[in-house]
């Protein structure tokens, strides 16, 4: 018998492994079928791995029972664990679309939880005992905050735009400036949403300049609306002209046409006093006289995913009757989270302090520095012997296609690991139990503290320790890491 055959024949059987104490423990916690399936899959991988090794490598291969138990246990945990898990966002990008965009306020937790786990008056009027509207719970609040006459909420802003166009301009032309034909990441493109909604896009002007007379000349008997789209994620600079909201409204009024604005982000506070660039607020669009304004719930507003539509009562009433509303309707969890988030806006200081997006965007230099020093010291303690560390000045981004030209000065910890591949380290951090998402710049890992919560700082050095340990281990080719 050669060594390969020896190793293969020494591998325990599924039945033998099932008798082990550690595996018995797994059987208490998880369905038997899953455990058995994981053992089979693990053994199959292991055999394949054995066949791929040279005799020399085989001599070093561990095939103790303990080794199998660890591998199988982590496979079972991985199989049974949640696939959607929390990660630590050390990228500094506040509205990171791939990492879930806006993080909700802890103040939202209680409402969200109790509405999720109990019956509620979602569509029930408690005063009359008759059927109510799910939108009624937030409409008053949204109107109070924005100054609008009426409001409703759908699944996201893309749905909001589609519903607005389908209700107000089906089979009619909607005039939009060529400079505002936005594409947002994913597949939201103004021309496509327009055609899906049944409205007909009428582009006017040029990429850099669109005048009042461009709109005037395009109007005909089949025009349904004028539309302004906020160029959230890009800017056209230099020799440019776009109409102010007021000018477009004035034209709409003169011609008897409704005017729609897609604001994208939906800012409710003037953030200029916190050092951020000007961004049109929902209030300003309403005040300018827009008939309908749409914006996202989970961009700068800092709430759950949602599309908020505010505007004149008669248009909002028409939208409620559109069959698309049923397809786009938001669920009770979103409503609960949105109501709780909007309530925080009743007091500006509370909003800035309690809504994570606003807090992260307005966080002071000293606080960032304090967090960076804390992480630096903890890292120094745990991995200072293997890595070189420094607190550095960096720039973070708002993200989510908002304020594309603005970078926020921040503090970060830079980590370099001499003799190790920085790419592999970054990858290993991503596969930690609580993945740490960082970025690489000039052969260093950059951990931006703007988006790292105080209570997460402790976890980062542990992740590094684990990742570095993994770098030094020979690859076994089996097992699933410490997920």
Ligand X SMILES: *Cc1c(COP(=O)(O)O)cnc(C)c1O
> Which spans of this chain sit near ligand X (rule: CB under 6 A)?
156-158, 161, 182, 184, 188, 229-230, 232, 262, 264-265, 296, 307, 401
Closer CB to ligand X, 74 or 232, in the complex: 232
Closer CB to ligand X, 42 or 188, in the complex: 188
As measured in angstroms, the least distance from the Cβ of 154 to ligand X is 9
Residues making up the chain, counted from first to last: 483
As measured in angstroms, the least distance from the Cβ of 391 to ligand X is 34
Taking Cα atoms as reference points, which of 20, 49, 66, 70 lies closest to residue 482? 70
For CA atoms 53, 55, 61, 64, the dihedral sign is positive
Closer CB to ligand X, 230 or 444, in the complex: 230
As measured in angstroms, the least distance from the Cβ of 152 to ligand X is 15
As measured in angstroms, the least distance from the Cβ of 296 to ligand X is 4
DSSP 265: S
Nearest residue to the partner ligand X, using Cβ? 264
Closer CB to ligand X, 186 or 364, in the complex: 186
Token pair of 137 as six digits: 């719970």
As measured in angstroms, the least distance from the Cβ of 156 to ligand X is 3
Closer CB to ligand X, 7 or 164, in the complex: 164
Closer CB to ligand X, 230 or 343, in the complex: 230
Closer CB to ligand X, 102 or 344, in the complex: 102
Token pair of 159 as six digits: 């749905």
As measured in angstroms, the least distance from the Cβ of 266 to ligand X is 9
End-to-end CA distance of the chain: 38
**Who's near 90: CB < 8 A, 6+ residues apart?**
436, 437, 438, 439, 446, 447, 448, 449, 451, 452, 460
Instruction: Tally Cβ neighbours within 10 Å of residue 440.
Output: 12
Closer CB to ligand X, 89 or 157, in the complex: 157
As measured in angstroms, the least distance from the Cβ of 247 to ligand X is 19
As measured in angstroms, the least distance from the Cβ of 201 to ligand X is 15
Token pair of 77 as six digits: 């945990």
DSSP 122: T
Taking Cα atoms as reference points, which of 169, 167, 179 lies closest to residue 201? 169
Contact 253, 221 (CB under 8 A): no
Q: Is 182 exposed, middle or buried (0-12, 13-18, 19+ CB in 10 A)?
A: buried
Taking Cα atoms as reference points, which of 359, 352, 323 lies closest to residue 452? 359
| CA gap 36, 14 in Å, rounded | 7
Closer CB to ligand X, 155 or 451, in the complex: 155
Contact 97, 400 (CB under 8 A): yes
Measured at the CA of 106, the angle between CA 105 and CA 110, to 5 degrees, comes to: 115
As measured in angstroms, the least distance from the Cβ of 294 to ligand X is 8
Q: Give φ, ψ of 364 to 5 degrees.
A: -80, 160
């Amino acid at each position: 018998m050669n060594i390969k055959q020896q190793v293969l024949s020494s591998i325990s059987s599924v039945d033998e492994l099932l008798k082990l104490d550690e595996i018995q423990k797994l059987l208490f916690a998880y369905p038997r079928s899953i455990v058995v399936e994981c053992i089979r899959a693990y053994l199959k991988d292991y055999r394949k791995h054995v066949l791929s090794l040279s005799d020399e490598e085989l001599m070093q291969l561990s095939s103790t029972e303990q080794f199998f138990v660890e591998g199988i246990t982590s496979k079972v945990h991985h199989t049974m664990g949640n696939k959607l898990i929390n990660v630590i966002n050390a990228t500094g990008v506040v509205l990171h679309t791939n990492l879930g965009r806006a993080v909700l306020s802890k103040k939202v937790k209680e409402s969200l939880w109790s509405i999720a786990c109990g019956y509620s008056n979602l569509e029930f009027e408690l005063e009359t005992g008759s059927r109510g509207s799910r939108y009624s719970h937030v409409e008053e609040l949204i109107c109070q905050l924005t100054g609008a006459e009426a409001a409703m909420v759908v699944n996201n802003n893309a749905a909001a735009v589609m519903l607005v166009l389908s209700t107000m301009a089906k089979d009619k032309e909607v005039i939009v400036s060529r400079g505002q034909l936005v594409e947002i990441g994913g597949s939201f493109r103004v021309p496509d949403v327009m055609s899906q909604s049944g409205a007909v896009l009428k582009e006017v002007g040029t990429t850099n300049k669109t005048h009042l007379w461009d709109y005037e000349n395009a109007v005909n008997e089949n025009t349904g609306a004028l539309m302004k789209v906020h160029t959230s994620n890009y800017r056209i600079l230099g020799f440019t002209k776009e109409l102010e909201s007021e000018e477009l409204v004035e034209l709409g009024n003169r011609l008897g046409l409704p005017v729609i604005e897609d604001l994208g982000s939906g800012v409710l506070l003037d953030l200029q006093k916190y050092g951020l660039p000007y961004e049109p607020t929902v209030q300003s669009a309403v005040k300018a006289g827009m008939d309908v304004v749409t914006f996202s719930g989970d961009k700068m507003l800092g709430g759950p995913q949602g599309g908020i539509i505010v505007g004149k009562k008669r248009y909002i009433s028409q939208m409620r009757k559109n069959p698309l509303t049923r397809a786009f309707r938001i669920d009770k969890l979103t409503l609960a989270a949105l109501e709780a988030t909007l309530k925080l806006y009743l007091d500006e200081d509370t909003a800035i302090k309690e809504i994570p997006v606003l807090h992260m965007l307005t966080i002071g230099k000293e606080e960032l520095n304090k967090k960076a020093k804390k992480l630096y010291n903890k890292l120094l303690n745990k991995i200072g012997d293997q890595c070189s560390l420094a607190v550095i000045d960096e720039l973070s981004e708002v993200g989510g296609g908002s304020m594309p030209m603005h970078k926020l000065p921040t503090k970060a910890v830079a980590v370099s690991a001499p003799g190790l591949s920085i790419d592999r380290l970054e990858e290993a951090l991503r596969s930690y139990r609580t993945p740490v998402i960082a970025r690489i710049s000039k052969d260093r890992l950059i951990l931006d503290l703007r988006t790292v919560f105080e209570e997460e700082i402790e976890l980062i050095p542990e992740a590094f320790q684990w990742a570095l340990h993994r770098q030094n281990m020979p690859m076994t080719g089996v097992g699933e890491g410490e997920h």
